[in-house]
Structures are given as structure tokens and as C-alpha cells.
Amino acid sequence: MAEVAIWGYGLSAFTYLCFGLYLFFAWRGGRPGGLLILAVVVSCIWAAASGFVAHTSAAWLFELVRLLDIARGAAWFAFILVLLRPLGAGRTKWPFLAAAGVISAQLLVIAAGMVDLLPAESVVGLSIATFLMQAILGLVLVEQLFRALPSESRWGFKPLCLALGAGFMFDLYLFADGFLFSRLDPDVWAVRGVAHALLIPLVALSATRNPAWTLRMSMSREMVFHSTALVGTGVYLLVIAAAGYYVRYFGGDWGRALQLTLLFAGLVLLGVFVFSGAQRARLRVFLNKHLFPYRYDYRNEWLRFTQAISSAGDGLDLGQTVIKALSDLVESPGGGLWLRDGNGRYLMHSRLNLAVSAAIESADSPLCRFLDERTWVIDLEEYRSRRMQYQGLVLPDWLSSIADAWLVIPLKSTSGLVGFVVLNAPRARFEIDWEVLDLLKTAQRQAASYLERMQAAEALLEARKFESFNRMSAFVVHDLKNLVAQLSLMLKNAERHKHNPAFQEDMLETVAHVESRMRTLMTQLQEKRSIDPAKVVDLATMAEHVKQVKRALLPPVEVHREGAGSAEVIAHPERLERVVGHLVQNALDATPEDGKVSIRLNTGHADRVRVVVEDSGCGMSAAFLRERLARPFQTTKASGMGIGVYETQQYITELGGAIHFDSEEGRGTRVTIDLPAARHAGAGKDGAEKHVG
């Protein structure tokens, strides 16, 4: 067992060292805290020296370990006596004298052995007897401390009393066995250091619960949970190993086989515990119930809940994330979320480990009215046994048909009941008390605000889609108005020129053009996008086509070209023709028949093409140009819609160009459009798609 002792006492020394450093940096000058640090430091030195004894077996080092063991006991006695003093002066006299007597006896025995006053066998027996007295006195002092504590203060000292009591009990067994057989059991002595180190988490827990020790420490519930789970796992494996060794040595021919079978079964059972959420839930509930004054660490629970619902992930949408966050608070495996739709009904939106439900609750149903008015968490088990507490509430039949339904949690924000969550039965027995209800009520308000924001974002997105559709519809209607104007003009002239073959041919061409444009516009409206692909467009050809379309109108449109460069740009042909045609139409509408309307192309610049639409019409005021021209639904024409200029400006900007208006009342208007030349935007037909994309 020498190797076991070396590793065990070494681990114990390291654990005491880490705990001592933590206490030192957390200490704020109080006497109890200082004595606790002293006891931990002496225990660390004792454990390290014991490990060296197991390694070297030097006689002088063994005597040093005995002295350190006495010092360790004296330090823990001093710590307990300081804790006893505020509880009554009369209770501290005899414990102090008893502790002084035991320590004096231990030192006298060691001194007698060093000067050979007694035989070696007697010294060993007396030494073991004094250490046995030390263990008994320690148990008595711990019992006195626990009894002297007021009932309302015991929760803070329970872990400490349990740790010290367990340590002294281990020493009692070790030295009682040694006193009977006149020697210490080497196996028990080898694990003594580890046994004492395992008690440190309980001492730390008491230190966090007692600010009077002036130790600024905190131990999270997660730390307690994982430490307890680790200790429990170690004890479990030790029990399985001990049973295995017993079967091996006393089981005869079947001992080896039974040992392996028992160890395998124990490991399988341990695996079930480690991977079972229900078992972990039972352990967490047990620790919260017996080791903490409050059931939850509210700061950690709030941060965890906020983090969970603010970062939906792992394949879960926001609704499923809310279900999981709420269910984790009460050890539930999942549930379902019902949210309010646009018609005021509550339908299942998300589910987690729950079957799909077609249940629909109206806003004025008894369940929804109760949740909205009372904001109570409905415990279905309590509802079945004590229905009168819910003031005559009648639950719907579909809720009773969910076999594992357990809690109904309302999700209410400032605007009303957003929805509700139905949680499944917990993995382990879970008591619903005021703390749980308060935590759930606080969490549900946070969840309701997130869900309400989600619904608002979805409604805004839908509204934007309708806005985009309506805007496109307005553009289409505007183009239809221009086409209808062409048809009206043609019908007006039909009475005079219906027998003219040239007019008939022109009329058929106009009708075909109008039909094609209307079909294109309808397709564009249905698909909610531009249907003509971007390509290289020759502005000179486009200007001639616009002139041809407007040839029946007065004054006639003139087309001029300046410069010898290319007039090609990259755009959607029909859309660009539509916006230029709109500018020409506006010029025709504002100009008398004896006026002038022209389209002038300027290709003198290498990187851009300029289109100027100019008229000698009525013009616009400076105020209209500044405040109303570029805004939608603003117009000076009696039959106009006020969106043509808006669409023109939006599209020219989309192409990377610029548009500028110059106008003066009574003197006409000039509209200048600058567009990037094709060779600078992608160079030719092959680069058209790249430029637009």
C-alpha cells in the first residue's frame, strides 16, 4: 500500500494547498477565517510529510509526522473553539481544558519515547490511545457546536459539522482498530489523506455561508453539484471494488468470474447514472433541498435563461428554445408552445418532445381568460386534486388528453397574453413551491417579450413585402395609364382616319405594342420582379424607338446626337425605355403643340453616356423641384399619379447613374441623365450580367 499512500497523501497535500491559497486571497482579517487558513496549511504540511514517510520510511520523519498530526488536530480544535465562543461563555471552558489536556498528553507520550522512559511497545500503545482521545474529543466538540447553534443558523454550519464529524469518525475507526491490535492498519492509514481531502468542499461551502468568518468566497451550485457527483462516484467505485475483492478472495473457484461480473455490472450502472438526465435531476433536487437555503442561484439561472432564448441554435427555432429554457428550470424534458395569431386564436407554434396538437384556443376561452387575468402557473396535478384553488377554472378537453401534461405557463407581456407553454412531467419528482413559481413567472415575462418581438419582426417583414408589391403595382398602373392614353388618342383619331390605310397600319402596330407591354407588365406584377434581363442597350436605337412610339403626338420629338463615341450602356431594355419614355411623355404633356421636345445624346465622354430630354413647356417652380418632385405621389398634372419621376430616379440610381432636373416656370424643363458606358461597366455583352449582379 506504499504506492497508494504516496499518491493519496500527495493528492491530499495538493488539494489542501489549492484550498489554502484560495482562502488566503479571500481572507479579510477575521479570526475564524485566519484559524481556518492555519488549519488548512498545517493539514497540507502534514499530508505532504505523510507522503514522504510512505516513500522513505525514515524514523525521524515518522516522529515529525506525529508532531504535525498533533498540530493539525490542535489547529482544528482552535477553529471549533473560536466558533463556540460567541454561543456562550460557559460552553468554552471545559472544551478548552479538554483540548489542552489531550494535546499535552500526546506531547508527553512523544517526549517519553524520545528519552526512552517507556518501552517502545508502550509508547506505541499510548500514542495510539492519545490520538484516539483526539478523535473522540473532536466528535464531542463538533456535536457541541451543532447543538449550540440556533436553529435558524444551522443551515450555514451543517456542511462544516458534517465534514469535521466525518473526518474525526474516520480517525476514530483508524485509531480504535490500532488500539485493539497495537498497530495501525496500513490500508486504512494509506487512504487517510484522501478521506480528509474529500471533505474540503463541505468546509468551503460553510465558509461561503458565513460572512462573519470574513472570507469573501462564493461557491456556485454547479461546483457543489459536480463535487458531490464526483465524491459519490468515487465512493460508488470504492464500494464496487471492495465487493469485487471480497468475492475474489472468499468466493472460491468462482471468485474471479464473480468479481469481473460484479465490476462490469457496476460500471454499467454507473454509466446509466452518468448519462441519465433523470438521475442527475434527482441529485440536483436533493442538493438544492438539503444544502442551500434557497432553491436557485437566481443570478446564474437568469443569465442562463437569457442566454438560452437570445441565441437560438442547435437546430431549434426561437419557440423551441423558449420551451427548452423553461423546461430546464423545472427538470422537464419538453413541451409545446401556443402563440396568438392575427385572428386572436392560439395555435401550436413549436414543440419539443411532444406530439403535434391541432388544439385551438380562442382569446375569450376560459383558459386564455384565466391566464391573461391571473397570470398563474397551472399545476395540473394540483388542479385535479384541489380544483377549488383555481376559482372554478374549467380546462379544455384537449389539455387533459395530453398524457404527460404537467404545467401550463402563461406568456404575458405588457400588450396582453402572447401565448402559453404546456410542459411535460419532470424527469424526477419535482416540488412546485413559491420559489419555483416566482422563477417561472419572471422567466415567462422575458420569454414573452422575445416572442412578441419575433412576431413583430415577422409582421414587419410581411408588411414590407406588401409594401414592395404595392410599390411595383403602382409602377405598373402608371405604365398602364400611359398605354391607355395612347389607345385613347388612337380612338380619337379613328373617326377621321379610319379609312386611311396608313392609319390602319399604324393603329395595328400601336395595338400590338400596347398588348405586348400590358402582357409584360402583368407578368412582372405576378412574379414581383423585372422580367427582362440586363444586357447591352444602344441608347441611340432606344431614342429612335421612343420617337417612333410618340410620332402621333405633337409637338414631334426630335433626336440629336453629339460625339462619335459609343452610346451603349448596360440596363434592362424595356425598363430603361419605359423611364426615358416617361420623361418624354411628361415633356409632351407640358409643351404646347407648337413647342419643342427633344432627346439629345452626348457620347463625347469615354466613361459615360449622357441623355438630355428637353422641352419648351410650362416648366416647374423651384419650390416644387426642391420639395416635391422626387417624392412619390406628388404631381402637377390633373390626371397624374406622381410616381413616374420617383421610379425614374430609383432606377437610374440602381444602374449607377445620376439624374438632374433643371426647370423654370414658363421656360421649360431639361432632364439630364448620366449612365456608365458599357465598356467601363463590364465591356460588352459578356460582361453585362457581371455588372448588374
Per-residue pLDDT tens digits for 169-183? 888 888 888 887 778
| CB distance 601 to 648 below 8 Å | no
Q: Between residues 265 and 70, which one has the greater pLDDT?
A: 70
Q: 10 Å Cβ neighbour count for 253?
A: 7
Percent of the chain predicted with pLDDT > 90:
10
Tens of pLDDT, residues 365-393: 999 999 998 889 999 988 888 888 888 78
pLDDT at 90: 43
Whether the pLDDT of residue 107 is over 90: the answer is: no
pLDDT, mean of residues 290-315 = 63
Give pLDDT tens digits for 319-346.
Answer: 888 888 888 888 888 999 999 887 788 9
Cα 82 to the chain's mean position, in Å? 47
On the question of pLDDT at 223 being above 70, the answer is no
Residues 456 and 448: their CA atoms lie apart, in Å, by 12
pLDDT in tens, 143-193: 888 887 777 677 778 888 889 989 998 888 888 888 877 788 888 888 888
Domains and CATH numbers, the chain: 2-219 (1.20.1070), 313-457 (3.30.450.40), 534-692 (3.30.565.10)
Q: Which cell numbers in the block locate residue 9?
A: 497523501
Please report the DSSP string for 158-210 in residue order: HHHHHHHHHHHHHHHHHHHHHHHHTS--HHHHHTHHHHHHTTHHHHHHHHHH-
Q: How confident is the model at residue 690 (pLDDT cuts 50, 70, 90)?
A: very low
More confident residue, 94 or 24: 24
**Which tops the pLDDT comparison, 281 or 499?**
499
Q: 510 pLDDT band (50/70/90 cuts)?
A: confident
Q: Look up residue 568 and give its amino acid.
A: E
Quote the CA–CA distance of 682 and 655 in Å, as a whole number: 13
pLDDT number for residue 346: 92
What cell does 240 get? Answer: 464496487
- Choose the weakest-confidence range: 109-118, 164-173, 485-494: 485-494
In this structure, what C-alpha cell is assigned to residue 78? Answer: 482552535
Highest mean pLDDT among 515-529, 582-596, 671-685: 582-596
What does the H/E/C string look like for 406-475? EEEEEEEECCEEEEEEEEECCCCCCCCCHHHHHHHHHHHHHHHHHHHHHHHHHHHHHHHHHHHHHHHHHH
CA 131/CA 192 separation, integer angstroms: 14
Cα Rg of the chain, angstroms: 45
Q: Grid coordinates in use for 266?
A: 457496476
Q: How far is CA 305 from the centre of its chain?
A: 7
Helix (H) or strand (E) holding 356, with range, is none
pLDDT at residue 573, rounded to an integer: 84
Whole-prediction pTM value? 0.39
Residue 272 has pLDDT above 70, yes or no: no
Distance, CA of 660 to CA of 646 (rounded, Å): 13
Comparing 516 with 608, the larger pLDDT belongs to 608
Return mean pLDDT, the chain: 78
Q: Whose CA is closest to 516, among 549, 490, 538, 547?
A: 549
Read off the pLDDT band of 411 (50, 70, 90). Answer: very high
Whether 157 contacts 145, CB under 8 Å: yes
313 three-state secondary structure: coil
Q: How confident is the model at residue 693 (pLDDT cuts 50, 70, 90)?
A: very low
pLDDT at 312: 56
Q: Contact, 215 vs 204, CB < 8 A?
A: no
User: What integer pLDDT is reported at residue 180 of this predicted model?
Assistant: 78
| Cα–Cα distance measured from residue 52 to residue 157, given in angstroms and rounded to the nearest whole number | 34
